[in-house]
């Protein structure tokens, strides 16, 4: 019997979508490397627009957690409000309307399940954010998930590391923003390559990943 062909995780503009999860004002001072994470997500958004990759944006309980931060550059995107612990239920209709969809590129917070202190956000009941659950729900639909590791974070770096390992164990691909951008553009002859080259000329800002990946980390092997 022939061995099953491995899933290679290729991404193509015509069959991909970018998810931007819950990068909101109230998290600005609580999430590790928040400015860097948003900067990288903004880079992914600009590339998606250049390559005509669709983009979906969610906000978790904006009445308590505030709007999407302006530096993401998400003007023109209509955020989908949610209280569910995954992005997928709020985006169900969008997903169902795209039969050609194969790959989801995922940016945002928090990488793991995180219970927020309701005392910090007046009027907000206990709320959880689950990009990890988003990944599991998307995989369950048969979609390939590419977690943009330099555009995802948590309050705790331990939680971030374990969440990345958990998503990888479940079948998600861990990728950097630049790696995914170059896969999407595909060829230096692409008509948008010069514009994209300007965006990636400077390396993505350090978001603490070297500390997570260095050494013989058993969670990522």
Sequential pLDDT tens for the chain (221 residues): 556 667 889 999 999 999 999 999 999 999 999 999 999 999 999 999 999 999 999 999 999 999 999 999 999 999 999 888 788 888 999 999 999 999 999 999 887 543 223 333 333 333 334 567 889 999 999 999 999 999 999 888 888 888 888 899 999 999 999 999 999 999 999 999 999 999 999 999 999 988 776 665 656 66
Give the span between the Cα atoms of 38 and 108, in whole angstroms: 8
Give the span between the Cα atoms of 216 and 167, in whole angstroms: 19
By C-alpha distance, which of 50, 5, 19, 84 is closest to 196? Answer: 50
What is residue 127's predicted lDDT score, i.e. its pLDDT? 33
What is residue 209's predicted lDDT score, i.e. its pLDDT? 87
Give the span between the Cα atoms of 95 and 138, in whole angstroms: 10
Residues labelled as active-site residues: 22, 82, 114
Domains and CATH numbers, the chain: 13-213 (3.40.50.850)
Q: In what helix (H) or strand (E) does residue 11 lie, and over which residues does it extend? A: none
């Amino acid at each position: 019997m022939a061995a099953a062909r491995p899933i290679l995780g290729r991404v193509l503009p015509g069959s991909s979508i970018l998810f931007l999860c819950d990068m909101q004002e109230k998290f600005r001072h609580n999430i590790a490397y928040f400015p860097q994470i948003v900067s990288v997500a903004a880079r992914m958004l600009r590339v998606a627009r250049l390559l005509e990759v669709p983009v979906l944006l969610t906000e978790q309980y904006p009445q308590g957690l505030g709007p999407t931060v302006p530096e993401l550059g998400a003007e023109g995107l209509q955020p989908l409000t949610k209280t569910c612990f995954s992005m997928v239920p709020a985006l169900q209709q969008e997903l169902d309307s795209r039969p050609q969809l194969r790959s989801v590129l995922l940016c945002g917070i928090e990488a793991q399940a995180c219970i927020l202190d309701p005392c910090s956000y007046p009027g907000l009941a206990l709320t959880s954010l689950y990009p990890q659950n988003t990944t599991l729900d998307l995989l369950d639909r048969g979609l390939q998930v590419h977690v943009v590791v330099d555009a995802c974070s948590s309050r705790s770096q331990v939680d971030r590391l374990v969440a990345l390992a958990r998503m990888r164990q479940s079948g998600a691909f861990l990728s950097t923003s630049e790696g995914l951008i170059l896969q999407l553009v595909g060829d230096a002859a692409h008509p948008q390559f010069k514009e994209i080259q300007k965006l990636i000329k400077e390396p993505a800002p350090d978001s603490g990943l070297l500390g997570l990946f260095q050494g013989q980390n058993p969670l990522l092997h």
